[in-house]
Amino acid sequence: MRRDQVTEEGIVALVDGFYDKVRADATLGPIFEEAIAGDWGPHLAKMYDFWSSIMLTTGRYKGRPLPAHVRLPIEPQHFGRWLELFTETTDELFEPDVAHAFQVKAHQIANSFLTALETVKQF
Ligand code: HEM
């Protein structure tokens, strides 16, 4: 049954499911494998904190996500694929209004990253 609320358990299921898809993806997989180099535990833990901070305002994530992306070989089209997989995973796990709330946040953040990366990297 799909979840009708945002909970910590749902965030763990989302992050685990999303990064399973990312790892298997021909476009995004290699970027992550290169950056994460073996141990996915710390990245997944960071992403539980991140989404908990965004959706449940727990303040658990203390990082600065933009610099982590500036040094990656990311092109504008990667964001389209990232958002596609994120939309797919949220639709599988949550009722439509909850899935939509995650998707709105992801689009806002992706757009702000893209704008910043366009300035820094001059795509
Ligand atoms: C970290 C890739 C989009 C949120 C990372 C890392 C990679 C990555 C490889 C690990 C960096 C490292 O440990 O050195 C990508 C790619 C994206 C993308 C290829 C799409 C083009 C997004 C979006 C969000 C996001 C849209 C938010 C909605 C984060 C956060 C971290 C992270 C919070 C942890 C940063 C930190 O504190 O170290 N990303 N990402 N990413 N990503 Fe993304």
Q: From the alpha carbon of 83, which atom of ligand 1 is closest?
A: 26
Question: Tokens 């992050």 appear where?
Answer: 15
DSSP tag of 94 = B
Q: What's the rounded Cα separation, in Å, for the pair 47 and 28?
A: 17
ipTM of the shown complex? 0.92
Q: How many CA atoms lie within 13 A of 9 on its CB side?
A: 5
Q: What's the rounded Cα separation, in Å, for the pair 73 and 35?
A: 10
Protein residue with its CA nearest to atom 7 in ligand 1: 32
What mean pLDDT is predicted for residues 24-44?
95
The tens digit of pLDDT for each residue in 93-115 reads 999 999 999 999 999 999 999 99
Q: From the alpha carbon of 50, which atom of ligand 1 is closest?
A: 33
Integer-rounded Cα Rg, in Å, for the chain is 14
pLDDT attached to residue 120: 81
pLDDT attached to residue 88: 98
CATH no., domain 8-121: 1.10.490.10
Q: How confident is the model at residue 123 (pLDDT cuts 50, 70, 90)?
A: low
**Measured in whole angstroms, how far is the alpha carbon of residue 74 from the centre of its chain?**
14
The pLDDT mean for the chain works out to 95
Q: What's the rounded Cα separation, in Å, for the pair 32 and 57?
A: 27
On whether the CB atoms of residues 3 and 98 are closer than 8 A, the answer is: yes
What mean pLDDT is predicted for residues 10-24?
98
What residue ranges line ligand 1, CB within 6 angstroms?
28, 31-32, 35-36, 43, 46, 50, 63, 65, 68-69, 72, 74, 78-79, 82, 106, 109-110, 113
Domain positions in the chain are 8-121
pLDDT attached to residue 119: 86
Protein residue with its CA nearest to atom 29 in ligand 1: 65
Q: From the alpha carbon of 105, which atom of ligand 1 is closest?
A: 28
The tens digit of pLDDT for each residue in 56-79 reads 999 999 999 999 999 898 999 999
